[in-house]
Structure 1
Amino acid sequence: GLGSTFTIRVPAVLPGAAAGAQTLAREEPTKTPSELAAMRATGAGRTVLVIDDDAEAREIVERLLRSDDFLVVTASTGEEGLRLAHALQPAVITLDVMMPDMDGWAVLRALKADPVLRDVPVVMLTMLDDKSKGYSLGATDYLVKPVDGDRLRGVLSRYHEPDAACTALLVDDDAAVREMVSHTLTATGWEALEAENGRVALERMATCRPTLILLDLMMPVMDGFDFLVELHASPDWRDIPVVVLTAKDLTAEDRRILS
């Protein structure tokens, strides 16, 4: 729908691209206002703005899109991307998560706060693997499934405020996991809300802002990664702590990224 945000992964190198790797680092010349106006007029409905600080990543995405007959404009910084977005009003924006100075989340918030650009669909791009991506999207802690009761109580104690009403939103498509975790939440003084996927969780949050979110990553309809994207795009929600529920133990590198 309008204003949607998606997350995809793209290959680091296109097939057959190794021989021409030196050409990937080229910088696109700055376009004049008149050139941008012409592109906006002729490329209505098929212009894609690619915002990424990595020249190789920009080239890869540009080549993929041009092969499908899209008109592509690239930006190497968030600030430049916002300027071009205003000038072009593109059909779609692809946006790197990890950029210096102004990262993808800051750009996304600026886009969603702008009445002219808020309805432009945004595709968040990341080169990270799934677990690392989840932590880069703002998770604050993790629990390994099957969830250990003592470990769960220890994590919950860090976020519980004894003199306040604390609500935890549990987002997991596994009913057995929801039942077990909800029981522990209630026994430790939390009010438990449940959602079977990210889309239902967003609907719950529209009427009740939780103190803490317990989030499974792999779910149907809307998975945990896309849910985190939506969470970070909202100024009202992005400071809510998120504990990731993961089916596998994490490596030392995963824990370093999380910490």
Structure 2
Amino acid sequence: MSARILVVDDVPANVKLLEARLSAEYFDVMTASNGTEALALASRAECDIILLDVMMPDMDGFEVCRRLKTDPATHHIPVVMVTALDSPADRNRGLEAGADDFLTKPVSDVVLIARVRSLTRLKMMTDELRMRAITSLEIGMQAPERSAVADTGRGGRILLVDDRQSSYERLATILAAEHTIDVEPNPTEALFHAAEGNYDLLIVSLDLNNFDGLRLCSQARSLERTRHVPILAIADPENSTRLLRGLEIGVNDYLLRPIDKTELLARARTQIRRRRYTDHLRDNVQNSIEMAITDALTGLHNRRYMESHLATLAEQASTRGKPLALMILDIDYFKSINDNYGHDAGDDVLREFAVRVRKSIRGIDLACRYGGEEFVIVMPETDLHVAGMVAERLRRSIAGEPFAVHKGTKRIEVTISIGLTTLEQKGEAVADVLKRADTALYRAKHDGRNRVVSQAA
């Protein structure tokens, strides 16, 4: 998915330069010439990342950033300050205002694009959690937005991985003023330590003796228990290329030696605040309301959740001018399965069907049990052609292998029919999209079942 970048600068030449660099990498670029305009665009959720100049006439970048980060509606948007100011005091002032990074002009294309891509991945993940949390709020759960804005980022648990004693002693002393610090000088033990410690932040030196610090970062990203823990990498200036590689594999932020005390604390607080916020979102979505939004038999979302969340997805698609695909799936002759093999066998089929659905769709897609043997899959930013390929792949997955029932003692053939359509018209009612998909499903069943039928808007 292409991120939408908001470039804020009162100098047209600077705007054009950044716009050209980002457009060449297939990002969607928006521009604003002052802070007031930038705040308005951000409040309408029209951007994914903000590249913000500091020196502007009406409102400087520090104040713009502070307002963005103290507004519950915009605090989650990553902000990168891009400015000619290069003193530690200026950089720290930006980080204290809540900026996710502070890049000094002239910024190399490689550094700029690597940072934007890294923050894009983070924003996409947070957006998915936020969207589901909005649905949770609608059915009575409390959103964590205001507590996130008030969070100071202090009092975190940090694991510092560094095998140079002079280095880790200084860093630990600095960090201990605000956090609980554990030091792991043995990099071969660091991953086990990180998995067991329930940390809010990992700080990893990339200049370890006889060990690749980037490999440790990559392993932390692949391990379930450390996958969502932010990583702050530290390296010597000559290793800046490795830092850029680190951003590609999941490092959240970095510092170059010599380490400025204030900047280290500011960057640690930023990462810990973000970790707590996303943890709160996950808790709201995945734990607190699981029973209210999940179909107990299949583990998929239920119809109640689908109807609320689909409205949110459709509104977002209309606002951004992006396609939204929707398919309704029906298990063919399901009544005969219950009649011939019993309702226990029917339940076995429904459970296995849900497993195969999950394997055939993306993490951002929404799969729900609509009722009985009918299911709905919603695919954001997906046109009719791509959705048709996914639907056909899913149809083959169901028909290609018999379903085990009665604890594996019997295997039965199962097929599905699929009706597919897309939301193409801005502001179109969700009910109309569902009705169009249902009409396509009726045609699929009428034409012989075990097939996909598409119907354009």
More helix by share: 2
* Larger RCO, structure (CA 8 Å, separation 6 or more): 1
Rg (Cα) greater in structure: 2
Structure 1 and Structure 2 fold alike (TM over 0.5) = no
What TM-score range do you get, normalising by the shorter chain? 0.3 to 0.5
What's the TM-score, normalizing by structure 1? 0.40
What's the TM-score, normalizing by structure 2? 0.25
